[in-house]
Amino acid sequence: MAQVFHKSANNIAKASIALAVILAGLSFYVITQLARSSYLTGAYLEKQQPVQFSHKHHVGDDGIDCRYCHTTVETTASAGMPPTQTCMNCHSQIWADSPYLEIVRASYRENKPIEWERVHDLPDYVYFNHSIHVNKGVGCSSCHGDIANMPAVYQVNTLQMEWCLSCHRNPADNIRPKSEIYNTSWVNNLTEEEKKRLMEEYKIRPKEMLTSCSTCHR
Amino acid sequence: MLKNRLLGLLTVMLLFLGAGCRYDMQDQPRYEPYEKSDFFNDGRASRDLPEGTVARGFLREDKAFYTGKKEGVTNVQVQTTTDASGNTVVTTFPDAVEEFPIPVTEELINRGQERYNIYCSVCHGPTGNGDGMIVRRGFTKPPTYHDDRLRNAPVGHFYDVITNGWGRMNGYAAQIPVADRWAIVAYIRALQIKQNPNGVKPLVAESSKKAAETLQDKPESSDKNTSQVKTELAKNQKGGVR
């Protein structure tokens, strides 16, 4: 009886097994990389806002403190979006007739909020609280990047769980002195000694507690 | 070959699966702060308190603390004058309280310095001369704190202006909680005394003199504002008295 399969079928079978393994590995790699890519996380994508508000101008050039507008960042979960009145504290006089700011003035006149496009949006199954972070030595720029030098705000991190955990597993390298919390250009030059002192000063809890499921998923 | 095709198909299906499980948990049917709402007419999910209601613990009985005004003085007429920058400024303060309604401590001054540098120095300048960055950008120059009119002004006047605004300055009640406003007033007093040690009326500034003494002992830079502000300021830490 003649052979059903050609002799080369042996090799093809072997090769296809190898190929299957490689393909599985490759697709795993592609999927994980794709999940971390800015295409899916939205990182590094500037959003078009109704008013082209520049943090670089207001914070970087004018030196206005983050908390002037984000008033509740030290006390509540939400950092606080300023009401239009906060804009008008200055823009009642500065650039008061600029067409550029007509949306702001209209919002103030008609008592309607400006509809900003949200840039940083955590999934709803995550509990996040700004106040605990800024009160325990995590600066704005640790998550938001050098906002004071961004003309338009974009997300600089993936906001994925592995990114949160990278800090919760190793807080010592990610905290800074109280005076530098709102300095978004701060560079970490702390010695091991200083880091240790900060960990004690802020009473940072042990790693096991910071990485417990219910710390973030409540 | 079929196997490879199947694998490819499986990969694509896995991708879809990844995308499919995302949304329900990601965007749950509840409002986040400032989220848009289709339910309310004005589109805002964040609601104001219904008119005429008082939240538990927020009854403002202490008039001096919450308004900076004296008890029993009504129908007041203030006198005003126009300064060099064209600001209309008050020269009489008939209903403003003259003593701080909370104890002036080093912690209060430190807190005041920190808050002043966030909210006030942008216009009033770091020392209160009225030469802040926003003024350099074109905003009308506010009056300096360091003239006899404001050195002799009662503390309640500063509190009232922070709360309700005056002239071209908007009120800061929405941005600065009550106890923080008093902390800022204490720091303004400290600035005044430091700039002109003998100029402030002792009667007005008895409590703030103590403030200036503590300020003089501490270094100019504010690198250790770590201390938690106790007593009244504790109210701010818990949700904030607005």
pLDDT band at B29 (very low <50, low <70, confident <90, very high): confident
B140 touches chain A (CB under 8 A): yes
B160, pLDDT greater than 70: yes
Given this model, what pLDDT does residue B13 score? 74
Structure confidence by residue, pLDDT tens digits, A33-62: 998 898 888 888 888 899 999 999 999 999
Tell me which amino acid residue B163 is. T
Structure confidence by residue, pLDDT tens digits, A178-192: 999 999 999 999 999
Query: Average pLDDT in the A135-142 region?
Result: 96
Least-confidence region, from A94-108, B37-51, B155-169, B228-242 = B228-242
pLDDT band at B238 (very low <50, low <70, confident <90, very high): very low
- A85 contacts in chain B (CB < 8 Å): 170, 174
Average pLDDT, chain B: 81
Q: Is the Cβ pair A201, B226 closer than 8 Å?
A: yes
Please enumerate in sequence order all residues whose Cβ is within 8 A of that of B202, keeping only pairs 6 or more positions apart, or say none.
B209
Question: For helices A102-110 and A84-91, what crossing angle results, to 10°?
Answer: 120
Query: Average pLDDT in the B213-219 region?
Result: 51
Higher pLDDT, A162 or B227: A162
pLDDT band at B225 (very low <50, low <70, confident <90, very high): very low
- A42 contacts in chain B (CB < 8 Å): none
Identify which of B117, B137, B236 has the shortest CB distance to residue A94.
Answer: B137
Shortest Cα distance from A167 to chain B (angstroms)?
22
A137, pLDDT greater than 90: yes
Shortest Cα distance from B109 to chain A (angstroms)?
17
Q: Which residues from A are below 8 Å from B when comparing CB atoms?
A: 16, 19-20, 23-24, 27, 31, 34-35, 62-65, 67-68, 71-72, 75-78, 81, 83, 85-86, 88-90, 92-94, 112-113, 115, 123-125, 177-179, 201
pLDDT band at B126 (very low <50, low <70, confident <90, very high): very high
Given this model, what pLDDT does residue A72 score? 95
> Where exactly are the structural domains of chain B?
63-68+78-237
Cβ atoms of B148 and B199 within 8 Å: the answer is yes
Least-confidence region, from A64-68, B66-70, B182-186 = B66-70
Query: Average pLDDT in the B178-191 region?
Result: 95
pLDDT band at B214 (very low <50, low <70, confident <90, very high): low
Question: B63-68+78-237 in CATH: which number?
Answer: 1.10.760.10
Tell me which amino acid residue B46 is. S
Tell me which chain B residue has its CA closest to the CA of residue A77.
B33
B208, pLDDT greater than 60: no
Given this model, what pLDDT does residue A49 score? 93
Measured between alpha carbons, how far is B154 from B170 in angstroms, rounded to an integer? Answer: 20
Shortest Cα distance from B116 to chain A (angstroms)?
10
Kindly state the tokens that stand for B192.
Answer: 């005044």
Structure confidence by residue, pLDDT tens digits, A158-172: 999 999 999 999 999
Q: Is the Cβ pair B25, A112 closer than 8 Å?
A: no
Measured between alpha carbons, how far is B202 from B152 in angstroms, rounded to an integer? Answer: 9
A128-157 burial code (b ≥16 CB/10 A, e <16): eebbebbbbbbbbbbbbbbbbebeebbbbb
Query: Average pLDDT in the A17-38 region?
Result: 94
Burial of B198 (0-12, 13-18, 19+ CB in 10 A): exposed
Given this model, what pLDDT does residue A6 score? 87
Identify which of A68, A123, A125 has the shortest CB distance to residue B119.
Answer: A68
Q: Is the Cβ pair A76, B239 closer than 8 Å?
A: yes
Least-confidence region, from A71-75, A184-188, B10-14, B120-124 = B10-14
Measured CA distances, A209 to A170, B3, B131 (Å): 12, 46, 48
